[in-house]
Structure 1
Amino acid sequence: MDIDNKVKVRGVGRTETEPLNCIDPDSFYIDWEVNSTWSLQFTAHNDHSFAYSMLDSQASIFFDGQEYIIKQAEPDANGGVDSIDIVATHVYFEIARLRKYKTYIDPADADKQTDVKVYGSTQTDNDSGSDSGDDSADTDPNAQKNVTTTTNGNTTTKTTVTKTDETKSDSEDENQVTYHIEDVLKHWIDGNNLGFTYQVIGDFPTARIEELADGSGTDMLSKITEAWPNAIVYPDNKNIRVYAQDQFYKDYGNRLDYEYNTTEFKWTFDSTSLTNEVMCIGGKYSIETQIDTSTSGDDSHGSGGAGADKVVNDAKQYLGVPYVWGGAGGARGGNPRSGMDCSSFVSQVYKDMGINIPAYTVAMEPYGKQIDRSQVQTGDMGFYGSPGGSYHICMALNNSTMIYEPRPGQSCMTQSIDSYPPTWWERNDQMASIVAGDSDSGGDTTSESSSSTSSEYYYFAPFMYRDEESIKKYGEYPAEPIEDGRFSDKNAMSDYAKTKIQPDPALSLEVTTYSNFKPVAGDMIHIMVKQQSICTNEAVVGFNWYPYSATNPTSVTLNSNSQNILDYQHSRQVALTDAINSVRQDAQKSIEASSQANQIGGDKKLFTWLKEYAG
């Protein structure tokens, strides 16, 4: 036994270590599996030594440069012999003793023992009451808001378009933060009093995980292996080392040959979990459009107030009525739809509103007060010519559009005011009162309306990721759809989907050796099985090592990757080809024998069949 591999023990609360010389050599073994198990087990017989007396729960066992903590100690007395069965786990599992607690108490009440304020419970409402609208988008970091405001007369329209990136607000992604793998290790390990340190070997991308808060060191390890599936935790005592796979799996020059240094190669080829296509549904964003319209009765720059629509709708009912000079309508009476001229049309609209004015332009001038062009609103009258000598008239629908009977041969129509501007404008007080929505006083009246629409959009159309080579070989095996709101890029999701399917059957290998050679975790061992034409490299992902036993050989578990599977499939194809060739050779021999028999009158049918069978 190599002196460096002596088993030593240190009792609970003691500083000295003692060699343990009473171990049953066939019972002592190391059990290791990547990211899962690392333990030491043995049976010791009572030799009444100080070392034996220290074998108890939480005592330390030292072997091969690593420390283990006894978790199970089962004394046994049988046949006059006292013994104890020991199970010890690697010291790095003691990281479960590291625990982070969330903040419970408001820092302002840190020194209080009663009536202590809960941390984060204070909420402040900054709403001044001047705006009752929903301003949640203002505080949503994932929302992009675009606001446009237009004014038409005294009507103001505010259009708010809010685009919300749901890849960052997905319900499954709430309270998640982007971290480096070092951030997770630092959160738990920095400042600990148990002597743990950490080291990251290799490159890792960032990952979004739930915000780091409370939990144990075991939770830390779980977060690492879940968020970074290619991470391998392989500590050196209390130095928590996290390896990227390309840094962990190395070729140390070892080789396993069937019937040379191994007794058994056990291959397991399992297609139960075969999947080669998956539907991918990525992130979404939403577009919400809100339109707020406000019409003020005393706003002389718009189309008017609450009654403006009533006047506009009434005037527009005459669109298409032909121009007839001296025609009916308004103060002239008769059927207005038989034809009107410019003055009888305006008189007719006023009449519909209960306002009586003449149907002749010069006579209509005294029924209004002159206003500036900028003040024009619904119902105002526009005159052409000079005061006392006007020859044409129109009526404003709003500050930019008028309606009128143009000239003979045309019909009632709307037109931009600026394209045919009147000489001056007048406002009738009664009409202004109606437009403002107050038929009695023409006072200040404001009307408001609001409407909103919301739609969701995918950043890219849901698509089917397919491994065509696997489908060609095995047929279609769909996996459960992946619906992940984090992705806004199709190529990124395609790369992610590739890691979530299993396009080839799983392949695992267990090897039993002749000797108790020391396996190396992550060793890329060269495998040779000449009888099956297998030659490949596989990594050690688990082992049972009996360093002192002459009867219990080392057994190792090797992983599989795409190249291993191809090598195995190639060996199976070679075996199939050899079998077919063997059948053909046997058939050819039978043909030759049958041919000789045929020459002396043998069975012609048998001869013909053998030739067809041999191809």
Structure 2
Amino acid sequence: MLTVSNRDSTLKEPITSLINSSFNVSWENNSSYQMTFTAYADNSAGFTLLIPENIITWHDQQFAIKQMIPNYSAGYNTIGITATHIYLDVRKIFKHDKKAGTLTYSVNDVLAFYLDKNTFGYTYEVKGNFSKQQITDLGGNNVFDGLSQIISTWPDAIIYPDNKKILIYSKQSFSKNLGNRLGYGYNTDNMSLTYDSTSLVNQLTVVSATKDNNSVWFQPHIVKDDDSIAKYGVWDGGDFSDERFHDVQAADEAAKEKFIVEPSISVSLDYLDSDEPVPGEIRRLEILDTGFVTNVMVVAYSYYPLDDTQKTSLTLNSNAKTVLDYQRSNRNALNQAKNLNKDLAISVKNTSDKINVITTDGIWYDYRGGGHVI
């Protein structure tokens, strides 16, 4: 059952007036985490507590009410509620200090800078391995902006909270394979794939850091991914420079980690089963009609936990292997089409010695090889 409490938790009541079919929980990786629902006036204490900034608890997670929309119609009094996960309230914490210049940080360094000694009860933990990266002029903004800085600096980082504990996962540590599958015609009847090449980067110019005497460790040069360029052409990501690297080979390897050599595929579908979506779950995706079989990760969902009649929506991520699997299924379909066309051409050739044609005057002509007319 959902409960609602005031900010200091001195009052806590069940929400007995909830309209079950309206209750929706949605999450999107590094973007949003919220619930929405409608409740009707039932003179309960829980209904009176549904006001902005009070806290709703669901599955031991806290959500702060951000919108309350009263509605009066046909003699009924209802309110629409939107509540966001409590971790998103970190935007109220402002870090006035600023670390000027371009400095090297770990993910933990950034979190410590923004959250150490905060008075709002927020804690943090890093799960997985991240290399150190450079950030320019860290600070002078709120903690939510600091989390956004982490996402932009470490694109594989995933923020998933446990109430006021902010957990930063590497993609590898966040993903989990529970042995489940998604199949078109099995547990989804509506699926779409978005194939997107707008983020491709397969070439960079590596620029050396400057020594104290204004000389350089190595000369600027280009690194590239030949396989990606052969398939998609050159997509130049500009310059890459990192003061940590004085060795040209180490700098080149770090630059190559920034490459995005394959287009992305995003899969959206309606899920027909009623189990609760698991963020980060790896599932086997099958479109048997086309031979597309691959593994994908749940990166967003929207579901109605109290109404089995409403379909769950899932969004699944892509990776290089997903794209390769999709390309392989396309090649297989193309080869099948070529074989069908080849068989059709052979069939036409075998029957070309006898073609029946009806003219406008209704007379049939039977053309046989050599121009013989009957």
TM-score (norm 2): 0.88
Distance 2:128 2:260 in 1: 25
Shift of 1:190: 3.1
CA distance in 2, matches of 1:191, 1:560: 38
Distance 2:14 2:7 in 1: 15
Written as runs of structure 1 = structure 2, the 5 A alignment for 1:207-606 is: 207-210=133-136, 214-285=140-211, 287=213, 457-474=215-232, 476-484=233-241, 486=243, 487-594=245-352, 602-603=368-369
Distance 2:205 2:109 in 1: 33
Structure 2 regions of 5+ residues with no counterpart?
356-365
Distance 1:230 1:201 in 2: 12
The higher-RCO structure (CA 8 Å, 6+ apart) is 1
Distance 2:122 2:146 in 1: 13
Partners of 1:250 and 1:78 lie apart in 2 by 46
**Could you tell me how far 1:235 is from its partner in structure 2?**
0.9
How far apart are the structure 2 equivalents of 1:505 and 1:186?
35
- Distance of aligned partners of 1:593 and 1:551 in 2 relative to their CA distance in 1, 3 Å threshold: same
Counterpart of 1:67 in 2: which secondary structure?
Answer: strand
Amino acid at match of 1:477: V
**Larger relative strand fraction:** 2
Once residues 94 and 163 of structure 2 are traced to their aligned partners in structure 1, the CA distance between those partners, rounded to angstroms, is 19
- Taking the aligned partners of 2:136 and 2:222, their CA distance within structure 1 comes to 29
Q: Between the two proteins, what is the percent identity of the paired residues?
A: 33
Q: Distance in 2 between matches of 1:26 and 1:488?
A: 60
After superposition, the CA RMSD in angstroms is: 2.5
Residue 542 of structure 1 and its aligned partner are, at CA, apart by 0.8
Post-superposition shift, 1:550?
3.5
Question: Structure 1 residues 578, 559: closer, same or farther in 2, change over 3 A?
Answer: same
Amino acid in the other structure paired with 1:534: F
State whether residues 70 and 86 of structure 1, in contact with CA within 8 Å, keep that contact through their aligned partners in structure 2: yes
Q: Deviations over 1:429-450 (max 9, x none)?
A: xxxxxxxxxxxxxxxxxxxxxx
How many pairs does the alignment contain? 360
1:201 equivalent to 2:127? Answer yes
CA distance in 2: counterparts of 1:485 and 1:189, whole angstroms? 26
**Residues 201 and 237 of structure 2 are in contact (CA less than 8 Å); yes or no, is this contact kept in structure 1?**
no
In structure 2, distance between residues paired with 1:217 and 1:244: 20
Change (3 A) 1:279 1:187: closer
Structure 1 stretches lacking a partner, 5+ long = 1-5, 104-172, 288-455, 606-615
Which position in structure 1 is the counterpart of 2:362? none
In structure 1, how many angstroms separate the alpha carbons of the residues matched to 2:370 and 2:216?
72
1:462 CA displacement: 1.9
Task: Tell me if the contact between 1:177 and 1:208 (Cα under 8 Å) persists in the aligned partners.
Answer: yes
* Mapped pair 1:192 → 2:118: yes
Tell me the distance in 2 between the aligned counterparts of 1:181 and 1:271. 28
Tell me whether 1:17 sits opposite 2:12 in the alignment. yes
1:174 offset after TM fit, Å?
Answer: 6.0
Q: Displacement of 1:265 after TM fit?
A: 1.4
Deviation at 1:495, TM superposition (A): 2.6
Q: What residue in structure 2 maps to residue 73 of structure 1?
A: 68
Does structure 2 conserve the Cα–Cα contact (< 8 Å) formed by 1:277 and 1:478?
A: yes
Distance in structure 1 (CA, Å) of the matches to 2:164 and 2:242:
38
1:480/1:528 CA distance change after superposition, 3 Å: closer
CA contact 1:516–1:552 (8 Å) conserved in 2? no
Counterpart Cα distance in 2 of 1:243 and 1:83: 40
> Which residue does 2:106 correspond to in 1?
180
Q: Report the counterpart of residue 83 of structure 2 in structure 1.
A: 88
Tell me the distance in 2 between the aligned counterparts of 1:226 and 1:57. 31
* Deviations, residues 307-359 of structure 1 (Å, cap 9, x unaligned): xxxxxxxxxxxxxxxxxxxxxxxxxxxxxxxxxxxxxxxxxxxxxxxxxxxxx
The answer to which of 186-195 and 563-572 deviates more is 186-195
Distance 1:181 1:501, change over 3 A: closer
Specify the code of the residue in structure 2 equivalent to 1:496.
Answer: A
Q: Distance in 1 between matches of 2:53 and 2:370?
A: 85
Distance in 2, Cα, partners of 1:506 & 1:13: 45
Residue identity in the other structure for 1:505: P
Q: Displacement of 1:70 after TM fit?
A: 0.3
Paired with 1:26 and 1:563, the residues of 2 have a C-alpha distance of: 38
The amino acid across from 1:482 in the alignment is D
Distance 1:604 1:7, change over 3 A: farther
Letter in 1 for 2:219: A
SS of alignment partner, residue 255 of structure 1: strand
Deviation track 1:78-105 (CA, whole Å, cap 9, x = no partner) reads 11111111111101112223334449xx
Partners of 2:18 and 2:192 lie apart in 1 by 31
Partner amino acid, structure 2, of 1:238:
K
Secondary structure, counterpart of 2:236 in structure 1: coil
Deviation at 1:19, TM superposition (A): 1.7
Which protein is bigger by CA-based radius of gyration?
Answer: 1
Deviation at 1:204, TM superposition (A): 2.2
Contact 1:479 1:501 in 2 (8 A): no
1:457 is displaced (CA, Å) by 4.1
In 2 relative to 1, CA 186–461 (structure 1 residues): closer, same or farther, beyond 3 Å? closer
Deviations 1:564-612 (A, max 9, x none): 0000000100110111111111222222223577xx972469xxxxxxx
Q: Which residue identity is paired with 1:184?
A: V
Counterpart amino acid of 1:284?
A: T
Counterpart secondary structure, 2:198: coil
Query: Is the alpha carbon distance of 1:273 and 1:176 closer, same or farther for their aligned partners in structure 2, counting shifts above 3 Å?
Result: closer
For residues 30 and 55 of structure 1, what CA distance do their matches in structure 2 show?
A: 17
